[in-house]
Structures are given as structure tokens and as C-alpha cells.
Amino acid sequence: MVRANQTVTDEIPINKEQAQNTPAGTRLHRHSRDPASPRASAGAGGPFMAALSSWNKRDKTPQHNITINTIKGKTMKQVTKDNREWFQEWANEYDNTLGKVKRHHKLLDLVVKLSGIKRNDQILDIGCGTGLLSLKFLNKTDCTITAIDSSAQMLKIFQEKIEKCNLTEKIHCAQKSAEDMDFKSNQFDIIAATVALHHVKFKEPVIKNVYDSLKAGGRFIIGEIDMDTTGKLDDPKRLLRILNYLTKEYALAMKEGGIPAFERMYDNGKKHILNDGEYCIGFSQWAKLCKNAGFKNMEVSPVKEFEWFKVLVATK
Ligand SMILES: C[S@@+](CC[C@H](N)C(=O)[O-])C[C@H]1O[C@@H](n2cnc3c(N)ncnc32)[C@H](O)[C@@H]1O
């Protein structure tokens, strides 16, 4: 059940009207702007000198002004497209970074366990990535999976696995954003999304759509970090609240995936702080959205040993 001490705010960016009052995020281009990065542009004197020189010439505008100015005028479509590029780049190293983190597998295993999956169930995996969750469902029992993702590169890697494992009859992949789902009503027994739906800025219509596509008694399962990133971007209290979660994640990534995983998670953390294509909310907020969409029962369970990750099962 939803824990009593979870924070509920009314600032969830669930529709465009509310979002107009919520500070938007900024675009981050991995490594390109950070002068401390060894990948910053090299010049005479080697990368370090080039980095120092660009640091000295940096824009002296206070950071929070840069944040707000760069986002002005961006439409949701543009934000979604940039986010897609981030995943295109990550796809090739996904299984060697997040895919190596024990906590991620424990999250996926808990999703499968709590899903109550039965033989011949029809499943929709939203934001399937390289297919880690879908393959765990199929490992558990014989079922049919529709897997969607907005990133062509993620799907390419998943498709290679499907063909290698002779699963073309069992899994159908499509490049589609959660925001563009147009499945028939009452089609699926289970709709699942692991660490994917927090990328959706306007969550309310997507969850209503999920509700419609589920059969009566069907289950919607969300596996996510229980991290409320709503609020004003330049609020230091919000920053500390988010960093509290991110430090645990950085340590885990370093421990289990080494420097490549840490580097990816570190960059990713910055995107979460600035709501740059990452719009995490807490589980009481997810539960509220599900309730508003019509779901009857919502149960939230923490991932053992990694309690800041949780799984919500909402039943239609
Ligand atoms: C962190 S990965 C999670 C992948 C997989 N579910 C897992 O647990 O390993 C997030 C995935 O969501 C996808 N994604 C991001 N925004 C999306 C959107 N609006 N609609 C559909 N997929 C999206 C990304 O391309 C990426 O593959």
C-alpha cells in the first residue's frame, strides 16, 4: 500500500495547463558543455587545456537563468525528439550499464512476480528498451507480448535478441511513443512499464489510455524509482531531496557496472534534476493518477534491499 509518509504534491505535470505553471527543464548535450569532461572539444595543448580555455570563456550568466532561457519556446514534440536521441546513443551500451545493475533485475523480477501472469496472457510492454522485461515475462510462462518504444536503436537490439531466440511468433515490436498509443479497448491482460513512463511529461492521458486498453480485471504495473522531482527547478530543497536518491544510485552503478555505468547514471542524474526528459514522481502520485484514470485497487511494493524503487500494481 502507499506509505503514509510519502509526499503528495499538486504539482504533478499531468496536463499542459498545469505544466505552464511548472518550470520546464533544459536541454543537456552529453559531455558537450561540461568543461570538466575529457570529451570536451580538444585543441592546441590537448583536451585539458582546451577544456580550461572554454571554461574561461564560458557564459557568465547565472546557471538558473541559462536553464530557463534555453527551454523557452520548446514544444513538447521537440523535447520528446531530443529525449529519443539520448536513448539512441545509450542503446548500444544499455545492457552493459543499467542491464548490469542487480537492482534493475530485482525490480524487473518483482514486476513479473506481482503481475500474476498466466499462460496465454496478452501483454503490452511500454518503453521496452532492449527487452529485458519482456524476456523475463516469457521466461516465466508462455504469453504473447507487444513491445513498444520510441527509440529505433533500442528496438533494433531487442529485435536481434528476438530473432536469436526464435521468438518472432511471441513478441511483436513497434516503434511508438507512449503518448501515441492507439490500441483497441479491452485488449491486454497486463500492461507493464519499467523505468519508462517517467519520461512522459503529461502522464494523465497516457494512463487513461492504458486503462482503456486493459481487459476488465487486467493489471497495470509500473516499476519506477519513488522520487518526486516536481517543484521549482531552482529550489535547493528540491535539489537535496533528489540528490538523496541519486547518491544511492551513483554508488550502485559504480559498484556493479564500473565507470561506464557510473558515467551514464551521473549524466542521467543531471537530467532528472533539471527535468530534462525525465519527470519522476513519487508512488503516491502514480497511485493518484491511476485512481483518477478509473483503476480500483492500487498496491505498492518496495524492491527488497532497494526500497527507493517500487512496483505499483493497479487493477481494472
Ligand atoms: C531506462 S529505459 C527502460 C527499458 C526497459 N523497460 C527496462 O526496464 O530495461 C527507458 C526506455 O523508455 C523509452 N522511452 C522514453 N520515452 C518514451 C516514450 N515517450 N514512449 C515510449 N518509450 C519511451 C526509451 O527509449 C528507453 O528504451
CA of residue 241 to ligand 1 center, whole Å: 24
Pocket of ligand 1 contains residue 83 by CB under 6 Å: yes
Pocket of ligand 1 contains residue 277 by CB under 6 Å: no
CA of residue 52 to ligand 1 center, whole Å: 36
Highest mean pLDDT range out of 47-51, 122-126, 257-261? 122-126
Q: Which of 112, 199, 221 to mutate to test the pocket of ligand 1 (most atoms within 8 A of CB)?
A: 199
This prediction's pTM: 0.76
CA of residue 201 to ligand 1 center, whole Å: 13
Q: Encode pLDDT of 212-243 as tens digits.
A: 999 999 999 999 999 999 999 999 999 999 99
pLDDT computed for residue 146 by the predictor? 98
70: pLDDT strictly greater than 80? no
Strands (E), the chain: 122-126, 144-149, 171-175, 188-194, 214-225, 297-303, 306-315
Alpha helices (H) in 10-101, listed in sequence order: 16-19, 46-56, 63-71, 76-94
Pocket of ligand 1 contains residue 194 by CB under 6 Å: yes
Pocket of ligand 1 contains residue 133 by CB under 6 Å: yes
Q: Which of 153, 154, 311 to mutate to test the pocket of ligand 1 (most atoms within 8 A of CB)?
A: 154
CA of residue 177 to ligand 1 center, whole Å: 9
pLDDT tier for residue 80 given thresholds of 50, 70 and 90: low
Residue nearest to atom 9 of ligand 1 (CA): 132
Residue nearest to atom 8 of ligand 1 (CA): 194
- What nine digits make up the cell of 279? 519527470
Angle at the Cα of 304 from the Cα atoms of 250 and 238, rounded to 5 degrees: 45
Check whether domain 1-27+76-316 has CATH 3.10.330.20, yes or no: no
The Cα–Cα gap between 213 and 211 comes to 6
By the 8 A CB rule, do 23 and 234 touch?
Answer: yes
pLDDT computed for residue 103 by the predictor? 86
55: pLDDT strictly greater than 80? no
Q: Which residue has the cell 514544444?
A: 75
Question: Domain coordinates of the chain in residue numbers?
Answer: 1-27+76-316, 28-73
C-alpha of 34 from chain center: 23
Which numbered atom of ligand 1 lies nearest the CA of 193?
Answer: 6
pLDDT computed for residue 238 by the predictor? 97
pLDDT computed for residue 81 by the predictor? 54
Q: Which of 80, 128, 209 to mutate to test the pocket of ligand 1 (most atoms within 8 A of CB)?
A: 128
**Paired residues of 126 in beta bridges:** 148
CA of residue 195 to ligand 1 center, whole Å: 7
Q: Which residue has the cell 522485461?
A: 133
